[in-house]
């Protein structure tokens, strides 16, 4: 009886933890057009770069060249976009490859 109760308690705790994680993640996710609109209206950010990530996700960097705020988003195949990182002091860089002819 004690073993069954322990298993049920552990299962319920695991489900509660998973639900909490899902709700926290969902708070940072929305349809792509909604995220783009919020970043533009709230922070003056526009898309600065885009690429394809793991599992065919689309990774985008949004930034405001005026304020320096930036946000990285990941969009899944179904169209749900999640904000995964943000910060300040965005700068546009165009660095070339390092010189590989000289020894380090």
- The H or E element that residue 60 is part of is strand 58-63
**5-14 per-position pLDDT tens digit:** 334 434 433 3
DSSP code at position 88: S
Domain boundaries, the chain: 2-87
**17-73 per-position pLDDT tens digit:** 343 344 445 569 999 999 999 999 999 999 999 999 999 999 999 999 999 999 999
Reported pTM: 0.70
Cα angle value 58/48/38 (rounded, 5°): 75
What is the chain's length? 104
Q: Is the pLDDT of residue 83 over 80?
A: yes
Q: What is the pLDDT of residue 12?
A: 39
Alpha-carbon gap, residue 56 to 12, rounded angstroms: 34
Q: What is the pLDDT of residue 24?
A: 43
């Amino acid at each position: 009886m004690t073993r069954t109760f322990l298993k049920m308690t552990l299962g319920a705790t695991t489900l509660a933890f998973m639900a909490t994680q899902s709700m926290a993640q969902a708070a940072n996710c929305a349809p792509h057009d909604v995220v783009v609109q919020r970043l533009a209206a709230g922070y003056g950010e526009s898309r600065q770069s885009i690429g394809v990530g793991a599992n065919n996700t689309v990774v985008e960097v949004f930034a405001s060249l005026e304020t320096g705020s930036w946000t990285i988003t990941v969009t899944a195949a179904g169209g749900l976009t999640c904000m995964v990182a943000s910060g300040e002091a965005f700068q546009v860089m165009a660095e070339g490859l390092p010189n590989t002819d000289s020894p380090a």
